[in-house]
Amino acid sequence: MRIKVAGTGLTKFGELWNKDLLDLALEASVEAINDSRLTIHQIDAVFVANMIYGKVSGQDHLGALIASTLGIKGASFRIEGACASGGLAVHLAIQSLLAGTYKNILVVGAEKMTDSSATEIATALMGAGSQDERRAGLTFPALYALMAKAHMQKFGTTRNHMASVAIKNHYHASLNEKAQYPFEISEEKVLESPVISSPFTLFDASPITDGAGAVVLSSDSTAPGVFITGSAVATDTVDLASRKSLLEIAATKEASQKALKQAAVEIKDINVAEVHDCFTIAEILAMEDLGFCPKGMGGEFVYKGHTRLGSKLPINTSGGLKACGHPVAATGVKQIIEIAHQLQKRAGKRQVDNANIGLTHNVGGSGATVVVHVLQI
Amino acid sequence: MSTPASIWRQHKKLSSYLNKIGRLLVWTKIHVAPSGFEHQTPYLVGIVQFANGEKKPLQIVDCVEENLKINQKVVTVIRKIGKAKSEDVIEYGLKVKPI
Amino acid sequence: MIGIVSYGAYIPKYRIKPSQIAQTWGKEVEDIEKSLGVLEKAVASYDEDAITQAIESANNALLNGQIDPATIGGITIGSESHPYTVKPSSTIVAEILGMGTDYLAADLEFACKAGTAGIQLLSGLISQNKTKYVLAIGSDVAQSRPSDVLEYTASSAAAAFILGKTNTIANIVDFTSFSSDTPDFWRRDTEKFPSHAGRFTGSPAYFAHVLGASNKMLKQTKMNPADFDYAVFHMPNAKFPKEAAKKLGFTPKQLEAGFIVEQIGNPYSASSMVGLAATLDVAKMGDKIFMCSYGSGSGSDAFVFEVTDAIKTHQQMNKQTVAKQIKNKEYIDYSLIARNILTKYRI
């Protein structure tokens, strides 16, 4: 496939009191449409990604709401797959373009989280888990903490290994004016912060964030640009306990293998990637499950600096979910934007030299949905 | 969240899980709880594997974390789930305790 | 003969000492355990209630007797801490135990004798051949106003007795009851905590009814205290049952096996029933057991039991004896009690 990323738009990520969900979605959308040089009338469909807005505000029907406010009268949809909503929206838009149904699609992922209390958000996010997990009083930090514990037990992964993910991503975020936390942090900060669910402290977890990201995708591949050449989704059990193994996110392997095959590239050809670091262990698992390093070696791989800007394989130059922020459904779209900018040499201070093949990895829940995209210039 | 009917359906499933012995594969201590569980913090939740191979996420009660071991034998018990609001039906469910 | 076919008890794991409670409220700590005769009491965890305790004790009874829950045709739960004022605890327990739908259920309240009232009432279903087995439970997460003197002893536990005609481990030789309208301890329908009438709870209340029922029972069965191997009385504290026993002619030795109040406090509806369970845990074939409960408001249920040879098998099956559960303890401070108050009363 060759689907063009014709335009991108991204709001600041953070605690944005003056903006509601519609404001954020519109801001990103207008920027993306302008960036694409297309007119409103050329946008055939709007795919909106959002996870919890209906629950916290009572407003559903977001596809129609956002499209009509933009003046778009074509097709509109809302897509939900927990934290993979953004990636799923991109994937589905691509399918419509490949089918020839639409020519130009606006995909916008938006989330407004900071109006609600932390407890309300933690509870709402557990909608991405199973009923049994909710009954057990689990939270998302706790679910990933269980995976971290298993990884530590089996492979000797340490809290320091995990902390290095947060430290690296904060460094990257310090170079990103859109990031929620554009500052560096120390290892002590990560290790000494309050424990939220053992072994995780506050700094092992991605924050609560408002934000929106939008891309205009086009099936017109005549002009040069950045193209999505692989797009795949894989599914696993929602309930973590029901997975075959706690030591991997099997759906990551499935989806990435499919996407790489579509793009006719191998994992070793990828020179920049945005992966789903909802918690520090998640990035370590991603390094292993995507195939950047052997299973069990992810901790060392990150700790040794092999994925920091300046190394051979910079991961999460945006700052990742941890430091750029994680407005849930916006993340998958933001990842596409970051890689597109890297390939187009629009990444400013975060620019990776010679980036020409990139990958995005977006996960829903504790690994029940994984979406992987491959982008090439 | 939990409607009377959904609690009713769930209670019917409990008798088949009484007196089941399992082993504790992994656990975490939760300090920041979702709503309805704040009064319990900190509490332990783990993944338990039963003899028939089934694995379930369950709260671990009546134990001191320092005494827990990987593959610890545990048995199912029935306890209150979360904290029902004043007017709500109480939900009972499975937890485990070490043996 | 109708009798006990199996039984089980449940005592929560946590313990607190009266001196710690006194310290919490800035009261005189010196010798408080000695004056009450209660060393420590059992405290239910934040996710336990009269229903979860009832399930544990009944589950033990079913396991110990290898009884299929579907064969139980009647269930009562006596408690003064039923989680619902309207909605029976007994059907929740029956459902979770797997009793099906073919049973009579009723929740009972009669202060600390609600559980034993169930034994007397349900035995009627057996004698009428309505069902093979019935299940009488006494379970309480005893309530007291925080900082009130009752807080030193009000505790939590449950005991469950399965009655039937076949394979009994202890036969019910006879029973009787003695009742009157006596306002010694009560809780109005919208009140959170019970009230009591101080010294009025003694002579006209506890003693009048325990002595009344016990003397009636001895007369009815034409037996003397010396004929018994064991005696169990309701134990609101260590003093009252010892005094009642003495007045009736029972010896301290007869009380020993069932004298649980010193170690776990007063679990209200479960008090005499857990005492009976502790006694049966050590009894031998042919032993005669005298029991008299007391419930404020007031009334006493008295029983005479005779142990059969089947007791040995039960003792071998029973992995959760009262003694074992008394020993399986962990000390806590007032913080668990504070949390329980906050969650139970939804403050």
Tally of structural domains, chain C: 2
CB < 8 Å to B48, chain A: 241
Lowest mean pLDDT among A143-157, B82-96, C115-129: B82-96
Share of chain C above pLDDT 70, in %: 100
Q: Give the C-alpha distances (Å, rounded to integers) separating A155 from A326, B25, C92.
A: 28, 15, 45
Residue A274 pLDDT exceeds 70:
yes
| End-to-end C-alpha distance for chain C, whole angstroms | 50
Is pTM beyond 0.80? Reply is yes
B-interface mutation test, from C53, C96, C190, most B Cβ less than 10 A away: C96
Catalytic residue numbers of A?
83, 326
Mean pLDDT across C276-285: 98
Pick the closest to residue A213 from A127, A45, A328 (CA basis).
A328
Q: Both C215 and C281 in a single domain?
A: yes
Q: Both C135 and C23 in a single domain?
A: yes
Tally of structural domains, chain B: 1
- Distance, in Å, from the CA atom of A214 to the CA atom of A212, rounded to the nearest integer, reads 7
Q: Both C37 and C152 in a single domain?
A: yes
**CATH number given to A3-116+213-376:** 3.40.47.10
- Annotated active-site residue C80? The verdict is yes
Q: Both C188 and C53 in a single domain?
A: no
Mean pLDDT across A263-269: 98
Which residues make beta-bridge pairs with C290? C231, C304
Task: Find out whether C57 and C9 touch, Cβ atoms under 8 Å.
Answer: yes
- Distance, in Å, from the CA atom of A359 to the CA atom of A236, rounded to the nearest integer, reads 21
Q: Both C145 and C221 in a single domain?
A: no
pLDDT for res B1: 57
Q: Give the C-alpha distances (Å, rounded to integers) separating A234 from A87, A237, B37, C341.
A: 12, 11, 33, 48
Contact between chains at B11 and C95 (C-beta distance less than 8 A): yes
Query: CA of B67 to nearest chain C CA: how many angstroms apart?
Result: 13
pLDDT for res B86: 81
- Annotated active-site residue C292? The verdict is no
Domain boundaries in chain A?
3-116+213-376
pLDDT for res B85: 80
ipTM of the complex: 0.95
Residue span of the structural domain in which B22 resides: 4-98
Residue A41: count other Cβ atoms within 10 Å of its Cβ: 11
CATH number of the domain encompassing residue C247: 3.40.47.10
- Name which of C52, C97, C330 is nearest B80 (Cβ-Cβ): C52
- Distance, in Å, from the CA atom of C314 to the CA atom of C308, rounded to the nearest integer, reads 11
Q: Both C273 and C155 in a single domain?
A: no
Task: Find out whether C112 and C294 touch, Cβ atoms under 8 Å.
Answer: yes
CATH number of the domain encompassing residue B10: 2.40.50
C-interface mutation test, from B78, B83, B89, B94, most C Cβ less than 10 A away: B78
Mean pLDDT across A248-276: 98
Share of chain B above pLDDT 70, in %: 99
Residue C144 pLDDT exceeds 80:
yes
pLDDT band at C28 (very low <50, low <70, confident <90, very high): confident
Catalytic residue among C33, C56, C109, C112: C112
Q: Both C146 and C275 in a single domain?
A: no
Pick the closest to residue A276 from A142, A370, A191, A171 (CA basis).
A370
Tens of pLDDT, residue by residue over A330-353, are 999 999 999 999 999 999 999 999
Size of interface A-B (CB pairs under 8 A): 93
Q: What value does the mean pLDDT of chain A take?
A: 97
Residue span of the structural domain in which C208 resides: 172-307
Q: Both C145 and C237 in a single domain?
A: no
A63: left (phi over 0), alpha (psi -120 to 50) or beta: alpha
Task: Find out whether C23 and C79 touch, Cβ atoms under 8 Å.
Answer: no
pLDDT for res C126: 98
Helices C89-97, B4-14: axis angle to 10 degrees equals: 50
Tens of pLDDT, residue by residue over C235-267, are 999 999 999 999 999 999 999 999 999 999 999
